[in-house]
A and B are shown apart, each in its own frame.
Chain A
């Protein structure tokens, strides 16, 4: 099953490769990974999604804990966490189809960020299922290009997990 890990690490060169190297070395595939500095610039937060069974997942977290560059690991898989992802769609949009696409974008509270002669670029944020639904709809018009950021996640309430 898919696990969402929120990993607080040192903000130093090479740390990303320590983390990804370790996960792949133990035989697991990373579904998605995002990394950026946190409120404290000496630290970065990684949100890693891995597909692993329980035993494998336990090994990954224990091994990650052993890295001196890792401060903290939170498992946000089954918690009531806020998950978001950002996506950019470049949709095929001849003039006669533009308003349909804009309408779809509006329904999903997405923004049009670029217009070309025959294309529209739509920026959307949300949960994975919302973005999947949008992608399905845009497919019928033709998607020239698509980029997803991968998930970021944060626990709800005051807890700093």
Chain B
């Protein structure tokens, strides 16, 4: 095609523009403007009311009080009516042969907005991001076979991070199940290890009850994904629609209230402790325990460390919040864990990324473990006081008991010690630069963070180095405003999750912090964002490499960069523009502020490609298999703000550790290498445990 023809007529497959007739073909239920959908009420009262409603067993929506109640309809229409009865306003999905009847019924719905993804994995991550940002159940609709198998990574991601999802998959007709029919896959069997529960619908008599049970199970107890597999012949069969207004499942009775005796024991331990520490995880977010945890921390002067999923469970501005802990946690948080003599673990599961070498983890500490899932208690670390229950309910009971017995902090010495550590080993200092004249990702994220409303914006991340920088440097004040794949570590999660979050909370600025590797795993969802008016922003931390693995190879595999340096990345700016996005690229520190302002001000989806050095390393770091106080590359201000590597600590101002300083960059990034200063001191045994 010549240039002249290109100028006059768009080619097939060229970017859609608003005036193109294609939009006319879209039905209103899929193309309604974002503004038409009210933002989710995120007040504490509304969140607690939603939670209470979930626990009561009643539907989230009108239940039987709809005009569909008692009507004769097809199974497919009953599926959509069930979703409406549950108050579902948004469904993420992708149609196909065995889902066509459901999609036909959806065509008539005036209450449900369908977000057409470009890949089923994207659809599930979008529903996941929607669920994490709003606290509501995310709903996904896909077809059989490949449509269903494409959801597996998304379901597993939600399962590992305890996110409530209901995934509805079309299945081949009952008569041909088990015959290797076209697009048949045993999705119930395939997903069994990664769902909280699943159903293969056998009769329309069970349809509405199955939906109520699915929403109930997904949203109560420890939340998780639930799959409903529906043979397409059932979707075509007639039935009378009755939606249950209450459900009770005898074999499913989560414990919400903590045992009173154990609560008393916990308070006795807290009263007696000279060096207590709160470790808070995702359970605090899903149970809305934030205020209660802050109250406990403040009344007893207990410092707090947070897991990745628990980030923002307590405000970053609270001085007691020591922030990220674990493999890329701060030196001060990791020191606090190592030196404390009591851990109050709330809604967290002692992930190996948090504990490091288990037998050197918190060696002096007794443990109070509060979790709604009994199986988490004693799985990794045996607690002195186990309390099974909802984090908010249990911590509130502890607070009441503390008030009743009039307990006060033993001394303020411990808190002061932790604060002094924070002064000594900051994540980053303004005058520090690994590579002068190049953009430091730490600085970009600090700048971004300062420009965002920490209460009413959502930051999502992909997985890798940028995720850890975001965890370290993005400031959050409100739970559900930081969304990241923790347990499964799913590259390709953060971008679709941002779209889902934006659709659930259209009033919020939503920024996805991405890496150039992760972004390419679901980059097709750029079309989903533009097609649904989801003006998400992507801050691409672009090092032209799989940075985290590259970093491990540099530190632990003798700089043998096996398959981690990209040779054929696309031009991300042009690619974004091809999808109808706005985009720009920066590479110099002076450009940061202006570019961030342009990105955040844009009413359209916007990609900012920030080029950073390939060898930029995430510090501090704990080597895989090492104890978490054995830290590589923390900045020590008592030594004039250089990176040091040592286990535990030397007196301020002297260090036995090795100073790790990057070499100056040559013109060609790929040819420069950071001095392998730390490689020598990592025992081979530890290095061999690497598996990222």
Query: A residues bordering B, Cβ < 8 Å?
Result: 10, 13-14, 17-18, 21-22, 25, 55, 58-59, 62-63, 65-71
- Do B251 and A69 touch across chains, with their CB atoms under 8 A apart? yes
CB distance from B250 to the nearest CB of A (A): 7
26 contacts between A and B (CB under 8 A): A13-B200, A13-B202, A14-B188, A14-B200, A18-B192, A22-B193, A55-B378, A58-B378, A59-B375, A62-B374, A63-B375, A65-B374, A65-B375, A66-B373, A66-B375, A67-B197, A68-B196, A68-B197, A68-B217, A68-B249, A68-B251, A68-B252, A69-B197, A69-B251, A70-B251, A71-B250
Sample of 18 more A-B contacts, CB < 8 Å, known A66-B373, A69-B197, A71-B251:
A13-B200, A14-B189, A14-B192, A17-B189, A18-B192, A22-B193, A55-B378, A58-B378, A59-B375, A62-B374, A65-B375, A66-B375, A68-B196, A68-B197, A68-B249, A68-B252, A70-B251, A71-B250
Known: A68-B252, A70-B251. A59 touches B192 (CB 8 A): no
Q: Is the CB of B251 within 8 A of A10?
A: yes
Interface residues of B in 557-615 (CB under 8 A from A): none
**Complex interface: chain A residues within 8 A of B252 (CB):** 68
Interchain CA distance A25-B156 in the complex, whole Å: 15
> With an 8 A cutoff between CB atoms, is B379 at the interface?
yes
Interface size class of B (residues with CB under 8 A): 10 to 19
Tell me what chain A mostly uses at the interface: helix, strand, loop, or mixed.
helix
B375, A62: Cβ atoms under 8 Å?
A: yes
Residues of chain A within 8 A of B196, CB atoms compared: 68
A62-B374, A62-B375 known; A25 vs B250 contact (CB < 8 Å): no
B197 touches A21 (CB 8 A): no
Residue of B nearest to A65 (CB): B374
Q: Which residues on B are within 8 Å of A, measured CB to CB?
A: 188-189, 192-193, 196-197, 200, 202, 217, 249-252, 373-375, 378-379
Chain A residues near B188: list those with CB within 8 A: 14
Q: Which residues of B contact A10 (CB under 8 A)?
A: 251
Q: Which B residues lie within 8 Å of A58 (CB)? A: 378
B328 to nearest A CB, angstroms?
28
Residue of A21, A68, A69 with most chain B CB atoms under a 10 A cut-off: A68
Q: Shortest CB–CB separation between residue A85 and chain B, in angstroms?
A: 28
Q: Who on chain A is nearest to B221 by CB?
A: A66
Contact assessment for A21 and B250 in the assembled complex, using a CB-CB cutoff below 8 Å? no
- Residue of A10, A14, A63, A69 with most chain B CB atoms under a 10 A cut-off: A14
| A25 lies within 8 A of B193 (CB) | yes
Complex Cα gap A143–B379 (Å): 45
How far in angstroms is the closest Cβ of chain A from B350?
14
CB-CB < 8 A to B192: which residues of A? 14, 17-18, 21
A68 to B251, CA, bound (A): 6
The docked-state distance in angstroms from the alpha carbon of A70 to that of B217 is 14
CA distance A99 to B374 in the complex (A): 58
CA distance A89 to B280 in the complex (A): 59
Inside 8 A of B197's CB, which chain A residues have their CB?
A: 67-69
The distance in angstroms between the C-alpha atoms of A63 and B188, with both chains bound, is 19
Rounded to whole angstroms, the CA-CA distance of A18 and B194 in the bound complex is 11
**Which has the most chain A C-beta neighbours within 10 Å: B188, B250, B251, B379?**
B251
Instruction: State A70–B197 Cα separation when bound (angstroms).
Output: 11
- How far is the CB of A54 from the nearest CB of chain B, in Å? 10
**CB proximity of A95 to chain B, nearest CB, Å:** 48
Contacts of A62 in B (CB 8 A): 374-375
In Å, the complex CA distance between A14 and B249 comes to 18
A69 closest partner in B (C-beta): B251
- Bound together, the chains give a CA A69 to CA B217 distance in angstroms of 12
Measured CB to CB, the closest approach of chain B to A89, in angstroms, equals: 36
| C-alpha spacing A67/B378, complex, angstroms | 19
- Point out the residues of chain B lying under 8 angstroms from A22, CB to CB: 193
What is the minimal beta-carbon distance from B254 to any residue of chain A, in angstroms? 10
Q: Which residue of A lies closest to B198 (CB)?
A: A14
Residues of B within 8 A of A55 (CB): 378
Instruction: Report the separation of the CA atoms of residues A59 and B252 in the bound assembly, to the nearest whole angstrom.
Output: 18
User: B200 contacts which chain A residues (CB < 8 A)?
Assistant: 13-14
Cα-based distance from A46 to B250 in the complex (angstroms): 18
CA distance A85 to B375 in the complex (A): 31
A17–B189 Cα distance when bound, in Å, is 8
- The docked-state distance in angstroms from the alpha carbon of A58 to that of B188 is 27
The CA of A13 and the CA of B192, in the complex, are separated in Å by 13
- Tell me the minimal C-beta distance from A159 to chain B in angstroms: 19
Identity of the chain A residue whose Cβ is nearest the Cβ of B249 in the assembled complex: A68
CA distance A139 to B373 in the complex (A): 49
Q: How far is the CB of A64 from chain B (nearest CB, A)?
A: 9
Tell me the smallest distance from the CB of B71 to a CB of chain A, in Å.
Answer: 29
Instruction: Give the Cβ gap from A58 to chain B, nearest Cβ, in Å.
Output: 6
Q: What residues on A are CB-neighbors of B249 within 8 Å?
A: 68
